[in-house]
């Protein structure tokens, strides 16, 4: 595996780490199997591609993606809490609806490129800061070659800090209590359903931001960008929590981010040895291995997200 492939894996792993933070909220804290992810991830990309192609600011596109993701998660919560639809079905309904929504946002196209447009990875500021690549054959050693990774890591650190601060707030403690023991929330005279809706909204905001970064990194939006993203996010959470979750001084959010990078690196390594047309099969097998190793780690056949010990 050459250096360019390694850097690419780190870039994707860091982008997926943002998504994993959102899935950490639904899967680990709320114990909610939210399949909205496979729709809210490309939603972020669709909103971003539409705004950038309209001449909008790429940073503003990320903010708009976060708002769109928040609304998608909110609707999933409303379907589940207010309409009394089961959690899994609520996510499926929203994921299905978002497929059409994303299609409409990008002008009824299966893909929409942002090539030649400014992105958070390539604009006047980054060109002044990182410089330009000397040539396509230039060796990977300059700061320019790491501009995507540095940019994503900055976004990731900021989002992680914000999430950690939120989790230490009153609303954050209510969110954790809702996942651990809903009765506690009721005794505090709080509406547990509203707390769950809030958690789903925040989680999908993270997922859509990840989709926005993914679109700007690839310079193209594809309608199928969300396929399999739930699997990647779950694998990241399971790997991070089971391997690093019990290590002292490593917060759960940090563990999840590391898990995303590790899983992406494993997929990249596997795909380097296998043809691209079996990518989904390789991904599925790796995820199965993650689940099996998770069973061994926690010593149980129950895959419930409340097992395995989590820093709350």
Residue 28, in any domain of the structure: yes
Q: Is residue 44 part of a domain?
A: yes
| pLDDT value, residue 81 | 94
Q: Are strands 111-113 and 220-222 parallel, antiparallel or unpaired?
A: antiparallel
Scanning the structure block, which residue is given the tokens 């299609």?
103
Range of the domain at 129: 3-136+143-224
pLDDT of 274? 76
Has residue 43 been placed in a domain? yes
**DSSP E strand boundaries for the chain:** 111-113, 220-222
What is the chain's pLDDT, residue by residue, as a tens digit (312 residues)? 677 888 889 999 999 999 999 999 999 999 899 999 999 999 999 999 999 999 999 999 999 999 999 999 999 999 999 999 999 999 999 999 999 999 999 999 999 999 889 999 988 888 888 876 655 555 555 677 789 999 999 999 999 999 999 999 988 888 888 877 777 776 665 778 899 999 999 999 999 999 999 999 999 999 999 988 998 999 999 988 888 877 778 899 999 999 999 999 888 887 777 777 777 787 788 888 877 876 654 444 344 445 444 444
The verdict on residue 149 lying in a domain is: yes
C-alpha 110 chain-centroid distance: 22
Longest dimension (CA), the chain: 65
pTM recorded for the entire structure: 0.88
Residue 275's φ and ψ, nearest 5 degrees, are -65, 150
pLDDT of residue 134: 54
Which two three-digit tokens encode residue 70? 């928040």
Q: What was the pLDDT predicted at 59?
A: 95
Q: Is residue 309 part of a domain?
A: no
Residue 217 lies in a domain: yes
Residue 259 lies in a domain: no
pLDDT at 307: 44
- Could you tell me which residues come within 8 angstroms of residue 207 by beta carbon, excluding any fewer than 6 positions away? 18, 19, 22, 23, 36, 37, 40, 41, 44, 69, 229, 233
Is 291 within the bounds of a domain? no
Q: Determine phi and psi for 133, rounding to 5 degrees.
A: -75, 130
- For residue 253, the model assigns a pLDDT of 93
Burial class (CB in 10 A: 0-12, 13-18, 19+), 78: middle
Q: How many domains does the chain have?
A: 1
């Amino acid at each position: 595996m050459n250096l360019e492939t390694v850097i690419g894996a780190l870039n994707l792993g860091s982008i997926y780490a943002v998504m994993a933070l959102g899935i950490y909220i639904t899967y680990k804290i709320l114990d909610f199997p939210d399949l909205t992810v496979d729709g809210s991830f490309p939603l972020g990309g669709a909103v971003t591609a539409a705004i950038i192609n309209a001449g909008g600011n790429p940073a503003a596109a990320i903010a708009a993606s976060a708002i769109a993701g928040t609304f998608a998660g909110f609707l999933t919560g409303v379907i589940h809490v207010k309409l009394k639809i089961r959690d899994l079905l609520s996510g499926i309904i929203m994921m299905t609806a978002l497929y059409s929504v994303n299609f409409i946002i990008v002008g009824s196209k299966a893909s929409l490129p942002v090539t030649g447009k400014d992105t958070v990875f390539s604009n006047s500021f980054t060109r002044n800061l990182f410089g330009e690549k000397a040539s396509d054959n230039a060796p990977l050693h300059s700061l320019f070659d790491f501009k995507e990774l540095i940019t994503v890591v900055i976004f990731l650190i900021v989002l992680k800090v914000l999430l950690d601060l939120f989790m230490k707030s009153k609303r954050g403690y209510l969110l954790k209590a809702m996942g651990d023991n809903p009765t506690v929330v009721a005794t505090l005279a709080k509406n547990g359903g509203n707390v769950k809706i809030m958690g789903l909204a925040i989680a999908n905001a993270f997922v859509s931001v990840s989709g926005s970064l993914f679109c700007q990194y690839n310079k193209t939006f594809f309608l199928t960008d969300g396929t399999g993203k739930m699997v990647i996010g779950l694998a990241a959470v399971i790997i991070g929590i089971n391997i690093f979750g019990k290590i002292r001084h490593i917060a759960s959010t940090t563990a999840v981010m590391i898990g995303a990078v590790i899983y992406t690196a494993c997929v990249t390594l596997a795909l380097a040895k296998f043809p691209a047309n079996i990518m989904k099969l390789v991904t599925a097998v790796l995820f199965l291995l993650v689940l099996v190793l998770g069973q061994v780690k926690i010593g149980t056949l129950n895959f419930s997200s409340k097992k395995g010990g989590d820093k709350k």
